[in-house]
């Protein structure tokens, strides 16, 4: 038998390789051996058992982080059947949600967000309770390594049993990504997470989205770059409930204090925020753990003040209203753009407008008329 195989091999390789011709001696090319598969073929792929809505809800309410994670995956899924289950799970978790402090954290890349979240998070956990860290980064795509998604950036929290870290939902429209994060907050709260951080990179529009889902918005700034107030969009300053200057350590302390003074002055130029609490400015060092407690006391003071004044509840109610409209807008937009006839018509209209054959207004009106008439005839 072995003999047969060898002869066969020899025969085959003889055909493919001229080196095996009789005239070449001393060189023999053998047929290669097929590589074994990298995955053990005997190991059956175990399919995760399908959880029912009741299973998810029960697991979440019991504070099971694995089930919470799976439910978040469902929320993030684009598949309509997943979405349907996700919406039911969210609906049933809603009565158990809302009992957390939601804190948005923003700052430009390199400001020290992850270092700080790690330290602030550990500080919060020292008091007990559970912490969820979520992120909004519409530019991220998990497979390509999201800037905000890398769990290892939060060394201590990532191994803490009472912390749940979830990277940004993968790339999509900001509205879509933000809605998913907002829904994830509901699930985390139902699972007993009483502090929720929502991290976002301090560029672009994502701060507005985060601002619309948190109770407190913390802006992390750097000193010593020589352009303290420059590059900070007025909008972000106005949204901030507190400003902290990071990296106030070593020979940077002086500059950090100076920057803090400049921020305080600048804040006086803005109208009083609707919370009725003038944003405080502090310096700290996330890396060296300096002033962490003071920063957290500042945040506590805010929560005390707005809870007493009733602004906390008022803001939450306004946010609910905002999210209702956001969801409607998002669904309308999807329904419109995912309609195959509309998108075919849009292609034509787009060309017409580009070639100045039609004005943008008539083109838009015609597409919308078509869409609405289609809706009417379907009803």
**Helix (H) or strand (E) run with residue 238 in it:** helix 234-239
Q: How far is CA 254 from the centre of its chain?
A: 35
Place of tokens 């000193």: 223
Which listed range, 134-142, 242-250, 254-262, 345-353, lies at the site for ligand GDP (CB under 6 A)? 242-250
Per CB under 6 A, the list member of 105, 111, 191, 342 interacting with ligand GDP is 111
Beta-bridge partners for 101 = 195
CB of 259 to ligand GDP, least distance (A): 14
Q: Which is nearer to ligand GDP, 207 or 326 (CB)?
A: 207
Per CB under 6 A, the list member of 65, 71, 85, 113 interacting with ligand GDP is 113
Query: What CA–CA distance (Å, rounded) separates 80 from 96?
Result: 25
CB contact at 8 A, 261 and 229? no
Structure tokens at 23: 């005239």
Question: Nearest 5°: phi and psi at 136?
Answer: -125, 115
Q: How far is CA 181 from the centre of its chain?
A: 6
Q: Does 110 bind ligand GDP (CB under 6 A)?
A: yes
The rounded radius of gyration (Å) of the Cα atoms in the chain is 29
CB contact at 8 A, 164 and 73? no
Per CB under 6 A, the list member of 59, 65, 104, 107 interacting with ligand GDP is 107
Q: Which is nearer to ligand GDP, 61 or 292 (CB)?
A: 292
Q: Does 206 bind ligand GDP (CB under 6 A)?
A: no
Per CB under 6 A, the list member of 181, 184, 285, 291 interacting with ligand GDP is 285
Which residues have CB under 8 Å from 301's CB, separation 6+?
280
CA angle, 366 then 367 then 369, to 5°: 65
Q: Which is nearer to ligand GDP, 179 or 211 (CB)?
A: 211
CB of 82 to ligand GDP, least distance (A): 30
Say how many residues touch ligand GDP, by CB under 6 A.
16
Query: What CA–CA distance (Å, rounded) separates 40 from 80?
Result: 33
**Helix (H) or strand (E) run with residue 246 in it:** strand 242-246
Q: Does 292 bind ligand GDP (CB under 6 A)?
A: no
Q: Does 109 bind ligand GDP (CB under 6 A)?
A: yes
Q: Which is nearer to ligand GDP, 115 or 275 (CB)?
A: 115
Query: What CA–CA distance (Å, rounded) separates 343 from 370?
Result: 11
CB of 173 to ligand GDP, least distance (A): 24
Per CB under 6 A, the list member of 287, 303, 336, 370 interacting with ligand GDP is 287
> Helices 65-76 and 53-61, interaxial angle, to 10°?
130
Which listed range, 17-25, 68-76, 123-131, 283-291, lies at the site for ligand GDP (CB under 6 A)? 283-291
Q: Which is nearer to ligand GDP, 134 or 277 (CB)?
A: 134
Which listed range, 78-86, 227-235, 241-249, 361-369, lies at the site for ligand GDP (CB under 6 A)? 241-249
Per CB under 6 A, the list member of 115, 200, 206, 275 interacting with ligand GDP is 115
CB of 363 to ligand GDP, least distance (A): 43
Query: Cα–Cα distances in Å, from 249 out to 111, 154, 259?
Result: 14, 20, 14
Place of tokens 């907050």: 185
Q: Which is nearer to ligand GDP, 147 or 299 (CB)?
A: 147
Taking CB under 6 A as the criterion, which residues in 117-156 touch ligand GDP? 153
Q: Does 114 bind ligand GDP (CB under 6 A)?
A: yes
User: Which stretches of the chain bind ligand GDP, using CB under 6 A?
Assistant: 107, 109-115, 153, 246-247, 249, 285-288
């Amino acid at each position: 038998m072995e003999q047969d195989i060898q002869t066969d091999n020899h025969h085959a390789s003889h055909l493919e390789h001229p080196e095996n011709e009789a005239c070449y001696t001393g060189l023999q090319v053998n047929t290669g051996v097929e590589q074994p598969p990298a995955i053990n073929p005997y190991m059956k792929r175990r399919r995760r058992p399908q959880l029912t809505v009741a299973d998810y809800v029960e697991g979440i309410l019991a504070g099971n982080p694995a089930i919470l994670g799976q439910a978040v995956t469902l929320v993030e899924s684009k598949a309509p059947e997943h979405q349907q289950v996700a919406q039911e799970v969210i609906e049933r978790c809603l009565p158990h949600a809302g009992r957390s402090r939601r804190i948005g954290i923003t700052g430009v890349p390199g400001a020290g967000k992850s270092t700080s979240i790690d330290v602030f998070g550990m500080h919060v956990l020292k008091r007990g309770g559970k912490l969820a860290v979520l992120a909004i980064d519409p530019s991220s795509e998990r497979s390509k390594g999201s800037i905000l998604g890398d769990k290892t950036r939060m060394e201590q929290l990532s191994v803490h049993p009472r912390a749940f870290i979830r990277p940004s939902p993968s790339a999509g429209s900001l509205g879509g990504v933000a809605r998913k994060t907002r829904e994830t907050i509901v699930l985390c709260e139902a699972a007993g997470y009483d502090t929720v951080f929502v991290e976002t990179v301090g560029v672009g529009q994502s701060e507005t989205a985060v601002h619309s889902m948190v109770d407190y918005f913390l802006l992390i700034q750097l000193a010593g770059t020589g352009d303290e107030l420059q590059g900070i969009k007025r909008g972000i300053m106005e949204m901030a409930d507190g400003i902290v200057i990071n990296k106030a350590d070593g020979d940077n302390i002086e500059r950090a204090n100076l920057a803090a003074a400049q921020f305080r002055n600048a804040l006086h130029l803005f109208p009083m925020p609707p919370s009725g609490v003038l944003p405080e400015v502090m310096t700290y060092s996330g890396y060296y753990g300096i002033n962490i407690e003071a920063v957290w006391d500042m945040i506590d003071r805010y929560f005390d003040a707005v809870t007493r004044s009733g602004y906390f509840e008022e803001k939450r109610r306004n946010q609910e209203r905002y999210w209702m409209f956001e969801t409607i807008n998002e669904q309308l937009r999807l329904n419109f753009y995912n309609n195959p006839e509309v998108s075919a018509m849009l292609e034509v209209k787009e060309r017409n407008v580009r070639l100045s054959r039609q004005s943008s207004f008539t083109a838009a009106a015609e597409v919308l008329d078509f869409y609405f008439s289609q809706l009417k005839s379907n009803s």
